[in-house]
Amino acid sequence: MLSVKEALQKASSMLCVQNPKKEAIILLREWMQKDDAFLIAHDDFEVNDTEGFFTWVKQRAGHMPLEYITQKASFYSREFIIKKGVLVPRPETEILVDKTVELIKEYKASKVAEIGTGSGVISIMLALLLPQISIDATDISPKAIELAKLNAQKFGVEKRIKFHLTSYLDGVPPPQILVSNPPYISTKEELEKHVLNEPHSALFGGEQGDEILKNIILLSQKLRVLALACEMGYDQKNSLENFFKENKITNYSFYQDLSGLDRGFIMKG
């Protein structure tokens, strides 16, 4: 048996991450189902099943994303369920939600679709923020669809989002507004070990990286959607701008994330 203080010290020393102390606290807090204030106020409290706790610490030391261990991910200030095999939502994707909300309001749209829903965070946030819309959300990963349904139930929006195990929008009615955060990393890029623990089909978009994005742009044109909002890689603006020009698409704009990096685009029909 170890005390909270001893367990935190030992866990911090085992973690080769940017902020080992902070991550040790998160892991112990989740393991004990307590909050940070409890751990601080009761550092002599004995930790139950320390062996189990250190299994978690070893997983994290082996570059398993923290969210897969705790099965929780924060997005748009909500706590979503997350499981190994599905991409961990990133904070910059919250901007894509905001951009899509603006588009839906601008066009007074009610039919929205999302390609590559993953854990469902984008569609679920749109459903929570805009009670008048219905959404068709697709993914090629059965694990993602299963998890997205679970999250939709958690937030009480399961009746307003139809989840489809399909590629792109195959078999889905054409939407007014389309949103996607597709895989956009180049297969040539070297990623950090913890990122490589995430599903490769959610990360890599092809040799250049923007192949799926380009397919989605062409699909939006073909389906005559009113507007498309997509997240993209910070270095894909030039390639996508050329693609828009080649396809005689003129009504597009790019947006940046909070670090000032190019992060996405809006295309209007």
Residue 268 CB neighbour total at 10 angstroms = 17
Backbone angles phi, psi at 228, to 5 degrees: -125, 135
Backbone angles phi, psi at 150, to 5 degrees: -60, -45
Residue 93 or 236: which CB sits closer to ligand SAM? 93
Query: Which x/- pattern, by CB under 6 A, does the window 160-179 give for ligand SAM?
Result: -------xx-----------
How far apart are the C-alpha atoms of 83 and 177, rounded to whole Å?
A: 28
Residue 31 within binding range of ligand SAM, rule CB under 6 A:
no
Nearest to 240 by CA among 203, 218, 219, 213: 213
Query: Which x/- pattern, by CB under 6 A, does the window 122-141 give for ligand SAM?
Result: x---------------xxxx
Residue 87 within binding range of ligand SAM, rule CB under 6 A:
yes
How far apart are the C-alpha atoms of 186 and 268, rounded to whole Å?
A: 26
Give the number of residues in contact with ligand SAM, rule: CB under 6 A: 23
Instruction: List all residues 6 or more positions away from 183 whose beta carbon is below 8 Å from its beta carbon.
Output: 116, 201, 202, 203, 204, 205, 212
Residue 209 within binding range of ligand SAM, rule CB under 6 A:
no
Residues 97-116 that bind ligand SAM (CB under 6 A): 115-116
Of positions 50, 93, 100, 176, contacts ligand SAM by CB under 6 A: 93
Q: Contact residues for ligand SAM (CB under 6 A)?
A: 87, 89, 93, 115-119, 121-122, 138-141, 144, 167-168, 181-183, 201-202, 212
